[in-house]
Homo-oligomer: A and B are copies of this chain.
Amino acid sequence: MTATKSRTRPAPATSREIDAGTYRVVVAAGLRHEYARLIADAAPAHHYAIVSDVEVAPHYAEPLVLSLAAHGPVSIHVIPSGEAHKTRDTWARVTDGLLDAGCGRDTTVVALGGGVVGDLAGFVAATFMRGVPVVQCPTSLLAMIDASIGGKTGVDTAAGKNLVGAFHPPAAVLADVETIRTLSPAQRRAGLAEAFKHGVLADADYFARLEAQLPALLDAEPSATLEAVARSVEIKAEVVRADERENGRRKTLNLGHTLGHALEHVSGYALLHGEAVAIGMVLEARIAERLGLAEQGTAQRISEVLARAGLPVQRPAALSVDAIVDATRLDKKARQGRVEYSLPAGIGVMAAADSGWSLPVDDQLVHEVLA
């Protein structure tokens, strides 16, 4: 592709742009052909350090290295794939890689990959010489609609997920919906769980559109995917703008995550994040119904569409109820020793607006719903 040709892309009908406050999110089919120019525009630097993983790099890294090289020295730092590698060790190795490559304060980090790459590269950027810019180029559905938006970065420890990290909003998010085609069907399904979450927490019409478009979304059909990614980004960006530091409304994004994180942890990360969130959303909706916070039928409607999407909707029998309840205590959202839940009031609306969008729930009820 020539420079002239690439400058005419993307066509207006296949591209969306969302203002996320201090940065913009561009969603388009084929956007990867524009990455270098958009990165250099959003975060001009002396050195560009691309962080990617062994799954994603073979597909997309080489053209990005070549095109970024027109803007300055480029280094690439490839990590193993998977949540098991989202650790302080990998963070330290990537940081040392940047230092070895001669990166100084005038470096822009480029995160090219899924949620693990985005979280880890974001934390490298947040802490490298006390903070350099990061541009997020998410290549998974999950990363596009969730992980890359909102500035949360971090790594896991043996004690739990994302226990170490920083708020470090990106300089830009560049989402090429065509990259979703290289994901496995299981990964695509897992990403959809977060899209349905956005529908439940903020927009009943969007939830209904996702129900209707489910076959196209499972096929990674570009226009359906683009519309879903754009609407999810709008919802998440709006919530984060209202409450970056998660003192209030941002907590609604934790729907499905208090139990989801615990399930993921107890499964030893055998469950994908989106799978764990799918189960967590159904069970937390059930808790909300039992507490009289949600309309009856809410859990059922969520459960049906997630099952149609091929996602799990109940606790895997191998995971012990006690272990899951214990794991909820490690949740960052636990305050004064009490575990807090953000619960739905129905499709499109969350409960507990007047108590900061989260509530403590008795372990006994959590046990019953898990059993």
Contact = CB atoms under 8 A, between A and B. Distances in A.
Given A131-B166, A164-B128, A336 B106 contact: yes
Interface stretch (A58-66, A88-96, A305-313, A358-366): A88-96
A166 B95 contact: no
Interface string A199-233: 00000000000000000000000000000000000
Interface stretch (A3-11, A22-30, A151-159, A259-267): A151-159
Contacts of A336: 46, 106
B166 A333 contact: no
Interface string A94-112: 0110011010111000000
A335 B330 CA distance: 42
Interface of A: 46, 88, 92, 95-96, 99-100, 102, 104-106, 126-131, 152-154, 157-160, 162-167, 330, 332-337
15 contacts: A88-B88, A88-B92, A95-B164, A99-B163, A100-B159, A105-B333, A105-B334, A106-B335, A127-B154, A129-B163, A129-B165, A129-B332, A130-B153, A130-B162, A131-B167
A166 B99 contact: no
A162 B158 CA distance: 26
Given A335-B105, A337-B46, A166 B96 contact: no
Nearest to A167: B130
Interface centre among A128, A130, A166, A335 (most CB of B within 10 A): A130
Contact of A157 (B99, B157, B335): B99
Contacts of A127: 127, 154, 164-166
Contact of A152 (B104, B130, B157, B162): B130
A247 to B, nearest CB: 11
Contacts of A104: 332, 334-335, 337
Interface centre among A88, A106, A164 (most CB of B within 10 A): A164
A166 B166 contact: yes
A335 B72 CA distance: 13
Contacts of A152: 130
Contacts of A154: 127, 130
A17 to B, nearest CB: 27
A107 to B, nearest CB: 10
A159 B127 CA distance: 15
Contacts of A330: 99
A221 B60 CA distance: 64
Contacts of A164: 95, 127-129
Given A95-B164, A127-B127, A130-B153, 14 more contacts: A46-B336, A88-B88, A88-B92, A96-B157, A99-B157, A100-B159, A105-B335, A106-B335, A106-B336, A127-B164, A127-B165, A129-B163, A129-B332, A131-B166
Contacts of A106: 335-336
Contacts of A153: 130
Contacts of A92: 88
A159 B98 CA distance: 11
A94 to B, nearest CB: 11
A165 B131 CA distance: 7
A332 B105 contact: yes
Nearest to A335: B106
Instruction: Return the 3 tightest CB-CB contacts between A and B, nearest first.
Output: A99-B159, A130-B165, A129-B332
Nearest to A102: B337
A102 B337 CA distance: 9
Contacts of A165: 127, 129-130
